[in-house]
């Protein structure tokens, strides 16, 4: 499950109406629904609810996202297609009783690094539903990092809940500090002067609605299903699309290869958004769940299939780790230079009224630095406090002179900073996609799979606009089957894998 992918979406679930934690500690992955779904009282290590119809397909057009990142809708229930043995890789695929579901494929045993929990192969180091052990369920406001349920970066444990001291009016600046009526919590300080410039008062909490996944665009509007808040709107990570209630990568997703509902089927992998027709991947890539991934850098398959990086870590050379300038504290990446909760070291927390600067707890910030929720930062170049406390740069932007912008050599495309010289979704310019099987080099598309037609990669065996060869378009009543235009009966669909499914229009 892609729990590490968008921890903010899971953190939001603490207050969201679409995800509930029951009295017995179980999670309803779908949230309230009138549809018949799985029994939320089923323990996380119990066998999945077999009452969900095995032949129910994922609704690729479903707009409603599942509450937890990485889960998809099968009928009225959200399930993890990567580990659920009743819905393994697809809603309609159930593993045999002797098999397990490992990275979306039925197998005799779990892949290296994964643990079997009642037929489901999971990464106990990052899975919020099975954290450290099959029967350990993290709270809705926690993440699973280092095989333990912990609070995300920027939050701390206060009275059995993860709170953000920077904005929480009931724990403003630290646990137990409640702002008086008529005041708000802004940058970790209770004030009657209202929220700082750029922040919005959401129930006494001063937040940046352009980046806050719990208040995205407006107070109370939360992002779910792996989305994050980007310029005030919930969006899937760059390159991903919504399919079946989840954010998926169409370049590697076996069940949504190149687009929602495009299933490569048995014996084929998904490479660069195109089905290869073979069960293997080119050199340097690894087959994970039927998709070809870079295990050296893929945060969801880091060093092995299903091994996810959590706590803000990235996949560096096939291992999860914090980036330069950050330290892992209980599996969460923090900056001990300025973090008042981990000032100078993981176990050092500054006292109330103190700030953290240069790895030391001080009474006040040095000249030129601003105190933002106990951290001494330079508002001119701090991406989490750019131009003002709590103003966060998103989409890969960096802070320069107090303004968020894309780094040199990248371009802003739909809110994300991308390299148009290498990005197959924006090759040579924003919105110019290379298509299924395409790659981008020096701003020009090339095809790993398929044929380059008018700058896009197409399958000339099935494309009605380039059937058999580039530019050869089929008539309105025809379909392209095995590279030949054929008449399609009005009451029948065409399976391109069956050449006899339609009649040739030409001998």
Both structure tokens of 344: 């100078």
pLDDT, one tens digit per residue, over 136-146 is 999 989 999 99
CA atoms within 13 A on the CB side of 44: 26
What band does 373 get if pLDDT is binned at 50, 70 and 90?
A: very high
CA–CA separation, 308 and 216 (whole Å)? 26
The pLDDT > 90 percentage for the chain reads 65
pLDDT, one tens digit per residue, over 304-359 is 999 999 999 999 999 999 999 999 999 999 999 999 999 999 999 999 889 999 99
In contact, 3 and 127? CB cutoff 8 Å: yes
Pairing of strands 451-453, 456-458: antiparallel
CA–CA separation, 255 and 275 (whole Å)? 10
pLDDT, one tens digit per residue, over 376-403 is 999 999 999 999 999 999 999 999 999 9
- The pLDDT value given to residue 434: 86
Q: Residue 362 gets which letter from DSSP?
A: E
Task: Name the pTM for this structure.
Answer: 0.75
In contact, 291 and 253? CB cutoff 8 Å: yes
Q: Residue 366 gets which letter from DSSP?
A: P
Both structure tokens of 43: 């323990």
pLDDT surpassing 50 at residue 52 = no
* CA-based torsion, 32, 34, 40, 45: positive or negative: negative
């Amino acid at each position: 499950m892609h729990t590490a992918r968008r921890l903010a979406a899971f953190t939001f679930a603490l207050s969201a109406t679409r995800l509930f934690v029951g009295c017995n500690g179980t999670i309803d992955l779908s949230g309230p629904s009138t549809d018949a779904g799985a029994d939320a009282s089923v323990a996380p290590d119990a066998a999945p609810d077999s009452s969900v119809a095995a032949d129910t397909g994922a609704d690729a057009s479903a707009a409603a996202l599942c509450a937890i990142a990485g889960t998809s809708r099968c009928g009225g229930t959200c399930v993890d297609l990567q580990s659920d043995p009743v819905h393994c890789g697809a809603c309609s695929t159930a593993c045999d009783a002797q098999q397990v579901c490992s990275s979306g494929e039925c197998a005799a045993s779990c892949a290296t690094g994964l643990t079997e929990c009642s037929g489901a192969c999971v990464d106990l180091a990052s899975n919020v539903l099975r954290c450290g052990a099959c029967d350990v369920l993290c709270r809705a406001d926690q993440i699973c990092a280092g095989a333990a349920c912990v609070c995300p970066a920027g939050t701390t444990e206060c009275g059995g809940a993860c709170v953000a001291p920077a904005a929480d009016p009931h724990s403003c600046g630290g646990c137990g500090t409640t702002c008086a009526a008529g005041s708000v919590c802004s940058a970790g300080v209770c004030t009657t002067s209202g929220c700082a410039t750029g922040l919005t008062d959401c129930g006494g909490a001063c937040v940046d609605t352009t980046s806050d996944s719990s208040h995205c665009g407006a107070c109370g509007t939360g992002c779910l299903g792996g989305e994050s808040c980007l310029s005030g709107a919930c969006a899937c990570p760059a390159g991903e699309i919504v399919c079946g209630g989840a954010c998926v990568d169409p370049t590697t997703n076996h069940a949504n290869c190149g687009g929602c509902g495009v299933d490569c089927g048995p014996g084929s992998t998904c490479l660069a958004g195109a089905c290869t027709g073979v069960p293997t991947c080119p050199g340097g890539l690894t087959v994970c769940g039927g998709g070809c991934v870079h295990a050296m850098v893929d945060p969801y398959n880091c060093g092995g299939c299903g091994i996810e990086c959590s706590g803000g870590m990235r996949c560096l050379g096939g291992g999860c780790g914090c980036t330069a300038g950050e330290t892992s504290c209980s599996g969460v990446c923090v900056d001990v230079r300025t973090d008042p909760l981990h000032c100078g070291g993981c176990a050092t927390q500054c006292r109330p009224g103190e700030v953290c600067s240069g790895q030391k707890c001080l009474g006040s910030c040095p000249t030129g630095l601003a105190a933002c929720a106990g951290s001494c930062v330079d508002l001119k170049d701090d991406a989490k406090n750019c131009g003002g406390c709590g103003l966060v740069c998103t989409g890969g932007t960096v802070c320069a002179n107090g303004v968020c912008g894309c780094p040199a050599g990248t371009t802003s495309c739909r809110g994300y900073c991308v390299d148009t010289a290498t990005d197959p979704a924006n090759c040579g310019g924003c919105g110019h996609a290379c298509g299924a099987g395409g790659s981008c080099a020096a701003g020009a598309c090339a095809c790993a799979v398929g044929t380059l037609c008018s700058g896009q990669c197409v399958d000339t065996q099935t494309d009605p606009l380039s059937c058999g060869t580039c530019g050869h378009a089929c008539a309105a009543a025809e379909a392209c089957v095995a590279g030949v235009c054929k008449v399609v009966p009005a009451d029948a669909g065409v399976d391109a894998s069956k050449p006899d499914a339609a009649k040739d229009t030409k001998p």
